[in-house]
Amino acid sequence: MRLLLISNSGKPFLGHCMGQIAAFLGPARSVAFVTAANLYDESAYYARAREALALAPPAGCGAEVFHLRWDADPLTTLERAESLFVGGGNTYALLERLRGAGLIDPIRARVRAGLRYVGSSAGSNVAGPNILTTNDWNVVGLAAFDALGLVPFNINPHYLDADPAMAPGSETRDERIREYHVVTRNPVVGIEEGTLLRVEDGQVTVLGRGRVKVFERGREPRWCRPGERVDV
């Protein structure tokens, strides 16, 4: 399987990681863009992504981008995709819509068969076994949290390494992940802004300008920097 998991899209849109996206897509320049995580204006979000990705390199990756709408014949759109880009927004809404559209199993099967998968923020979160390490609010009242399970670890996008001394008595992201590990065993990878994970041939490599922090139950967290492999 081939996945590129991005913490955030940034400003300009995807500007910080466009080179990595282009290299990852390679010859698969036909991209189906999934807007299901967006709760405001999916058409505008798609147009923004299409404009950015269609630009010639190095500003873009010269891709043909078409809209995979969860509520408008999504399986037909998925069938013609050479690569899949699942955008950001609310992770709970994204998972609810993917499940309701019958897309979970088909996406999983296509990616396992070689379809390139790019996820940003919520789109990265749903690549794991479940979405319980998202930072989003469950505004849609989702009751089932199992996700695509394309990687064996959970993602925490927008990871921020907070110093408890800066806000005495407040909860940190690390504390919340420790709570997760009280009841669940699988590792969690926190991805700082401007940072990506490339998953290919069973190897996970850090890309971008930041770091990732790996949390495993019963072990001290450890940092991985750009160019390093993540052993999870």
Catalytic residues: 121, 136, 158
3-class SS of residue 196: strand
CA distances from 90 to 13, 35, 57, 93 (A): 17, 10, 30, 5
- Give phi and psi for 99, each to the nearest 5: -65, -45
Helices (H), the chain: 18-25, 42-54, 74-79, 91-100, 104-112, 122-125, 173-183
110 contacts 58 by C-beta, under 8 angstroms: no
**H or E element: which one contains 230?**
none
- CA pseudo-torsion sign 215, 114, 37, 129: negative
| CA angle in degrees (0–180, nearest 5) for 133-111-16 | 60
CA 70 remoteness from chain centre: 17
Instruction: Count CB-CB contacts under 10 A for residue 62.
Output: 13
3-class SS of residue 173: helix
